[in-house]
Amino acid sequence: MEGKKRDWFELGAIAYAQACPGTYAVPTYVCPICRNPFTVEALDDGRLSVEQVPPQSVGGRELLLTCTACNNTAGTKLDASAKMREEVRLAMAGTASRPHRVRVTIGEMRVNGRLHAKDGSYSLTIPKEINKPGTSEVLQRYRHRLSHLQEDRREAWRPHLGGVRG
């Protein structure tokens, strides 16, 4: 692994030197997220780390170096977003292993729900414990729209959801 990290450092430093000649006197790798510069010592002291793309949690592979701060913060946020999108995709394909938490717009109201998918059938539950107080009462006005969610084909209910986001 150390050889791979050094190779990535050298390739990144060469690319940066070609794009911005004369910027640094020594080979310098620039984090692609925060754009902070690092010398080769950053490999040894842990300031540069390997980033998996897409996130390892959805089958990603080691692809480049980022600074450890970005890998632990910005990377985590990007990973969470990518993982959420993958979970929605699995749920919509009917292959999710558990309900997926989603945010749905019904009428003018945004609510938290759980999307369940099994054997080509879909359902959406809107539990009280993950919504604001009073949500259930307000949703009663949209009951006629919610009845469409019991259909087996996602195309039948997709238009009735203003937006499903993971």
pLDDT digits (tens, 9 = 90+) for 8-59: 999 999 999 999 999 999 999 999 988 999 999 999 999 999 887 776 766 7
Predicted confidence at residue 37, as pLDDT, reads 95
Instruction: Name, of 45-49, 109-113, 132-136, the range with top average pLDDT.
Output: 45-49
Residue 162 vs residues 20, 93, 158, 165: alpha-carbon distances, Å: 46, 19, 8, 10
Predicted confidence at residue 114, as pLDDT, reads 87
Q: What's the burial of 115, exposed, middle or buried (CB within 10 Å: 0-12/13-18/19+)?
A: buried
Specify whether the CB–CB gap between 126 and 135 falls below 8 A. Answer: yes
Predicted confidence at residue 147, as pLDDT, reads 58
Query: What type of residue sits at position 29?
Result: Y
